[in-house]
Structure 1
Amino acid sequence: MTLTIEDLQPQLVELFKSVIARHQLSQGYLFSGDAGTGKSELATWIALRLFCTHVVAGMPDGTCSECQRILSGNHPDVVKVAPAGQSLKIEQIRFLKQELTKSGMETNQRVFIIQAADKMTVSAANGLLKFLEEPAPQTYLILTTSSKNQILPTILSRLQIIEFARLPRPQLVAQLTGAGISTEDAALLVRLTNSLVTAQAWLASDWFGPLRQTVWQWFSHVQAKNAVAFVDVQANLVPAAKERAVQNEALALILLLLQDILALYFDREQDLSFPNEKAQLSAWAEQMTSEQLLQQMEAALAAQKYLTANVSFQNTLERLTLQLLA
């Protein structure tokens, strides 16, 4: 099941339908929110709405020649730029700056969409300031980001910021299972990502499955108060999570396991991240007090902060293991 922008962000679609109908579209926007919340889809929808020749009830039809050219990436007055690798390259910014100075090739309006704008270098971001300070008539710039705090304040101050809400959990689970992901996997993945594309990529990766199993093994030893959990850290967890992004997910999995135990402790069985492990999680919940559970949750949250503060993954896990075994 593929969700449309009307499914993902119905309120924002209604907002921009009204704004465009009143001819009050701003010339610079920043769409900010988690991956999978529809930022790029809404940016494309705005372009479709502006150029569509058969608008019905404020909605582009998606089938006219203008819409089809936008959807296929062949419309000369709709320019999309996305990072090639870790950042927007200087050639991309040069191209963008040149295009921003031009008037529409076929119409009197143009739309520029810069995806993952947080990956712009400082020089690249500064290159946009001239346009933002003196925008050309009927030229619209839409930036998207999942990390608003990494964008220069001088850029932020010149844009209207639109925050994208996360999808409701049941809706996202339905999206994942509709795409062929098992109910068990979907229950966990919706706690880790709001993006179907990311969820599919993780399931197909060589790290997600092994990491999940390794975290479970370590966690089982911790709950059994077995000191072999320390061996798990060095022998299994550290090799399974060499990259910082994977290390973050390892700690997220640990926190989700603790959250499931806490939920079962208070007889809240709905929406578990690990529904197939309910029996074992319930057994652990019965062995603990609410105070112990909260202490373990606090230790796991503190571990996330240590990792963010550049404490090594191994040291962070060894400290957490010691606290949980106490």
Structure 2
Amino acid sequence: METSAAQHLLADVNAKQPDLIQHFVQVVQAGDLSHAYLFSGSAGDGKLAVAKVTTMALFCLHPTKEGFPCGACNECLRIANDEHPDVLVIEPDGQSIKIEQVRALKREFSKSAVEGNQKVFIIDAADTMTVGAANSLLKVIEEPLATVTAFLLTTNYHHILPTIRSRTQLVEFPQIKQEALQRYLAEHNLSKTEIKLALQITKSTTELDQLIADQWLSKMKQQIEGWFTWISKDDVRAFPFVQTNLMPLIGDRFSQNVTVTMMCLIFQDVFNVKFRERTPEQLAFGDIYDLLKSTANQLSDYQIVSMINDILATAQLQRVNVGFQGILEVLTLKCLQSITSK
């Protein structure tokens, strides 16, 4: 059964910020929600999810006895899908939130609620508001209505006008713990080895979401292991493998960077098996431990370090206007040469 957007939000917020959402659900249940909040934290730490789930708790038709939204009623579903007439989410139009967007918000919230008494607006990336937009919003916050609640979300607290900061309740989001990230990834059906690999690549939940979208990490992991298999056998089929198997999965700079990181990690695993006697559970690519060990046994320390250095050097080539497929093909040839050298 397909997970709804509301259920995804609930899972997301419970994985990333369980304590904060517990607090806000209790605040809603007690009827003590303030008129304006400023959520400040790092990218991908669950700010939008907390704002939306809190809003769902405010509107939910069938909340749990603890006050959590059911995630299944019409109100919850519409809020999660940005379809509720009394809940407005504003995001940057291009690089910034413009004054026209805030003026439209003001017009909308000068009206009575369409379906009930309560209205909510959420401004994501509030630090990108132009000066005009920020000043226009200030007038809304300076004269709050009891029936309106605002959530402003930012990754750069100091870029918010001091006058806005002083009129909102600041909520600083804590860094997500390693255990929470592991649970979050497990809930998206990643294997233990995929979770370990993902967390060696990044700790940003925004980037983790990119990794797991459409099972990209799982697919690329399999192809990197295939590429490494040909390299370890000193087999020239590693060269066309770049075009036929790797490039179809690489579409933007982020996927390019992750590909290079994964190549580096697999050779670091070879190094760690050879010199640090690491077990499969301690490796990014522990699923192919036998291949890593046999490769480590046949290579000298010089060969392993040389290949890692070649992979790290690709980051410099990415900064100039060189095609990424060409970069990987040259890297592949260098790795094959290193395997052959004694």
The TM-score, its normalising length taken from structure 2, stands at 0.62
Correspondence 1:309-324 to 2 at 5 A: 311-314=322-325, 316-317=327-328, 320-321=331-332, 324=335
State the 1:280 CA deviation.
0.4
Q: Partners in 2 of 1:64 and 1:234 — Cα distance?
A: 44
Is residue 258 of structure 1 aligned with residue 267 of structure 2?
Answer: yes
* 1:72 partner letter: R
User: Equivalent residue for 2:173?
Assistant: 162
Helix, strand or coil for the counterpart of 2:176? coil
* Structure 2 residues not aligned, in runs of 5+: none
* Structure 1 residues not aligned, in runs of 5+: none
Is residue 62 of structure 1 aligned with residue 72 of structure 2?
Answer: no
Q: 1:111 to 1:296 in 2, by over 3 A?
A: farther
Q: Which has the larger radius of gyration?
A: 2
Helix, strand or coil for the counterpart of 1:32? coil
Helix, strand or coil for the counterpart of 1:62? coil
Q: 1:174 to 1:141 in 2, by over 3 A?
A: closer
Helix, strand or coil for the counterpart of 1:270? helix
Give 2:214's match in structure 1, choosing from 188, 198, 202: 202
Q: List per-residue Cα deviations over 1:44-85 (Å, max 9, x = no partner).
A: 22224555699889x5242599x8524423654422346899
User: Equivalent residue for 1:219?
Assistant: 228
Is residue 279 of structure 1 aligned with residue 286 of structure 2?
Answer: no
Q: List per-residue Cα deviations over 1:12-65 (Å, max 9, x = no partner).
A: 33564688777667533345333xx533321122224555699889x5242599
Is residue 44 of structure 1 aligned with residue 56 of structure 2?
Answer: no
Alpha carbons 2:60, 2:76 under 8 Å: kept: no
* 2:152 partner letter: I
Alpha carbons 2:60, 2:75 under 8 Å: kept: no
User: Equivalent residue for 1:9?
Assistant: 17
RMSD: 5.0
State the 1:316 CA deviation.
3.8
Give 1:99's match in structure 2, choosing from 99, 108, 128: 108
Q: List per-residue Cα deviations over 1:245-304 (Å, max 9, x = no partner).
A: 432332232133234334434223215443431210122233446676556445534534
* 2:21 partner letter: V
Q: Quick check: 79-88 or 44-53, which moved more? A: 79-88
Q: 1:52 to 1:172 in 2, by over 3 A?
A: closer
Helix, strand or coil for the counterpart of 2:188? helix
Q: How many residues align?
A: 306
* 1:284 partner letter: T
User: Equivalent residue for 1:174?
Assistant: 186
User: Equivalent residue for 1:79?
Assistant: 88
Q: Partners in 2 of 1:242 and 1:60 — Cα distance?
A: 43
Helix, strand or coil for the counterpart of 1:27? strand
